[in-house]
Amino acid sequence: MSSTIDTADRPQVLRREFNLWSAFAFAFAFISPIVALYAIFGLALTAAGPSFWWGFALVFGGQFLVALVFATLVSRWPLEGSIYQWSRRLLGTGYGWFAGWAYMWTLVIAMATVALGAAGFVANIIGIEDPSGGTLALIALVILLGGTAINLIGRTALKVFMTASIVAEVIGSLGLGTWLLLFHRQQPLSVLFDGGGPGVDTWSWLSGPFLLAVAFIGFSFVGFESAGSIAEEVHEPRRHLPKAVLFSLTFIALVVAYSSLAIILAVPDFDALADQADPVYYTLTEALGAHIAKPVEVLFIIGFLASFLALQTSGSRVIWAYARDGALPGAGALARLRGEARIPALAILVTTVIGAALFGLSVVAGEIYTLMVNFTSGGFYLSFLFPLVGFLVVLLRRQWTPARFSLGAATLPVAAVAVVWAVLQFLNISWPRAAFEHRYLDWSVWIGIAVLVVLGASLFASVRGRITATGVIDEIEARDEEADR
């Protein structure tokens, strides 16, 4: 970033050290193919059988429309905090504040759950059998502190880790998938059309099991918007970020769908999966032998750690964007940037403290952790709805000014269908199906929303009078981007 930008009397300016590849790598790592596959494969397979695979095409189609809208928005407003910044400029400060509030907590809660997910694999690697909740929380805390250290070191360390993770994941996912398809295929392609089985009509399957599988798959195709969370750290963001948003979603979809197809066709016996806690691991060990266990778990750990880092970075940048606007208590301290690298250190440390607290809660009350896990997927789609609805309203009011990336005449229909898709998917995810022993866990998404609304309303009331006008930030960003060229 140019040192000619005077920041002595205005909000601090970040350094632009990321390029198109970095932004793509960041969004790719946010919801890595390995994390996405491992998180949803067993759930979706149990819900709808092997034909859950077609849900990938449905969810990708809907999310690609969302990505097109986000690419349009980030081209107009390439600002740190993405969803928060876009929503605020579309329908006002209050609207944007609650959009960012939902997004920020979704990111931080997802960060904590990913760290705990990685802890299970780390425990297996180091030989801890049947680890307790306390052990997993301790390992997750070590991961949290390590990730915090990488984030505090600077963007170079972050870029190196993200690039290494992509190489490992692509080689692992595509290479392993290809090997399974070529040498360990056990099922015919027709298995992809096995739905509810005999006696279950197509409509009953589509409206029940398949919809549930689509809800699970929805978690696989989020994170593409995170490229916008680091917008003010990217060179020429109006040119690069729309590409990063669209390419990351497309590439992740292809890798996850390909890997899932390979694993489905390599399953030796679907009936035997009912007795397996981890169908992915079971299928790989049956096909490749027990010796594959450690390398596969190492790949899982790399994917989880990369996802954790991207989530922590995104969460800290949303917090920093709020603080720069004066939209949080302690904004002056939170907005400060540390060192020559100009890192929002205190915002990163806030995510560390919150993550550690969530680990503690997961040990004290495991059901609270289940609430957080269930909320995460719905939280992303709720956050998406804020800028999607805001964009559609602005279009209908004929108040939109196209930016460098534009959909032209297709803008309004794409925006309208994207809103419909996001609403339906959010309701599908948040619908309180009877899935848990305790009924209130089925209401996880709505419980999380209620808590956030109550806390957010009181906090917003305390800061609304001192929030910086959008024009101030827009002017600084425009001058900074001009100096970067």
Residue type, 440: Y
pLDDT of residue 195: 63
For residues 78-84, average pLDDT: 93
Contact assessment for residue 300 and residue 33, using Cβ atoms and an 8 Å cutoff? no
Q: Measuring CA to CA, how many Å separate 392 from each of 1, 160, 199, 322, 452? A: 34, 38, 43, 24, 25
Query: pLDDT-derived band of residue 197, with 50, 70 and 90 as boundaries?
Result: low
The yes-or-no verdict on residue 391 having pLDDT over 70 is yes
3-class DSSP assignment, residue 401: coil
| Helix intervals (H) in 184-292 | 202-205, 211-217, 237-266, 279-288
What are the pLDDT digits (tens) for 233-259?
A: 999 999 999 999 999 999 999 999 999
What are the pLDDT digits (tens) for 13-67?
A: 888 888 888 899 888 888 788 888 887 888 888 888 899 999 999 999 999 999 9
Structural domain span for residue 75:
20-471
Report the chain's mean pLDDT, rounded to a whole number: 87
Residue 443 counted as domain residue? yes
For residues 363-388, average pLDDT: 86
Domain total of the chain:
1
Residue 252 counted as domain residue? yes
**Pairwise CA distance, residues 426 & 418, whole Å:** 12
Residue 7 counted as domain residue? no
Residue 93 counted as domain residue? yes
Residue 14 counted as domain residue? no
Contact assessment for residue 69 and residue 391, using Cβ atoms and an 8 Å cutoff? yes
Query: pLDDT-derived band of residue 3, with 50, 70 and 90 as boundaries?
Result: very low
pLDDT of residue 296: 76
What are the pLDDT digits (tens) for 435-477?
A: 777 788 889 899 999 999 999 999 999 999 899 888 888 787 7
Residue 144 counted as domain residue? yes
Residue 319 counted as domain residue? yes
Residue 275 counted as domain residue? yes
The yes-or-no verdict on residue 421 having pLDDT over 70 is yes
Contact assessment for residue 34 and residue 173, using Cβ atoms and an 8 Å cutoff? yes
**Pairwise CA distance, residues 177 & 312, whole Å:** 29
For residues 403-408, average pLDDT: 92
Contacts of 419 (CB under 8 A, 6+ apart): 385, 388, 389, 392
Contact assessment for residue 157 and residue 165, using Cβ atoms and an 8 Å cutoff? no
Check which CATH number belongs to the domain holding 402 and give it.
Answer: 1.20.1740.10
Nearest to 244 by CA among 477, 15, 78: 78
What are the pLDDT digits (tens) for 256-265?
A: 999 999 999 9
Query: pLDDT-derived band of residue 315, with 50, 70 and 90 as boundaries?
Result: very high
**Pairwise CA distance, residues 223 & 309, whole Å:** 12
Contact assessment for residue 341 and residue 12, using Cβ atoms and an 8 Å cutoff? no
pLDDT of residue 196: 57
The yes-or-no verdict on residue 2 having pLDDT over 80 is no
pLDDT of residue 271: 81
The yes-or-no verdict on residue 349 having pLDDT over 60 is yes
